[in-house]
Amino acid sequence: MKHSVRGVFMVVFALLAADGIARAQATAQLDGTVRDESGGVLPGVTVTVTQTDTGFIRSVVTETNGSYVLPNLPTGPYRLDVALQGFRTHTQTGIVLQVGGMPTINVVLAVGSLQETVSVEGAAPLVDVRTSGIRDVVEQAKIVELPLQGRNVTESRSRSRVACAPGWPTRSMAR
């Protein structure tokens, strides 16, 4: 009984750990700095990202050095809204986050009335200049399309080196 309870706890722990690892690999991060037109950093700015496909929203407030970080964002297309009272609201669309991506989007807010909004349409670069790695996402459909001799395990095993060695009958000889 004592061993079975321990075994159950180990299985549950392994499943929870695997779930966390799987979720961590399907996210991205967005960061940057918010400045005014003179180049000064702006603390207390509300930075909001909205995933345009699902409506998922996350907001943060910039630090005293004007920086913001939005970690663990689900992948997909996003809109970035940056707002501070006394400045024009900045909106940027066309941001596409990919698995493991960490684009930096720096924003310059212009002084303006409370009614003014600046909209920027464009995409964040998909190249991360801070790391030297190559990543790619392979969809399940592409994996299924890979040629594997008819996708039959016994068929591919019969074509191995041992089965095709001289003196061994091949499929055409066996018929």
d(CA 34, CA 174): 74
In this prediction, residue 145 carries a pLDDT of 74
Looking at residue 171, what is its pLDDT? 57
Q: What is the pLDDT of residues 79-120, one digit of tens each?
A: 999 999 989 999 999 999 999 999 999 999 999 864 556 666
State the fold for domain 27-121. Immunoglobulin-like (2.60.40)
Question: At 164, is the pLDDT very low, low, confident or very high (cuts 50, 70, 90)?
Answer: low
HSE-CB of 55 using CA atoms within 13 angstroms: 0
More confident residue, 149 or 4: 4
Of the candidates 62, 77, 76, the one whose C-alpha atom is nearest the C-alpha of residue 27 is: 76
Query: Has residue 48 got a pLDDT over 80?
Result: yes
Q: Is the pTM of this model over 0.85?
A: no
The β-bridge relationship of strands 27-36 and 107-109 is parallel
Domain ranges of the chain: 27-121, 140-174
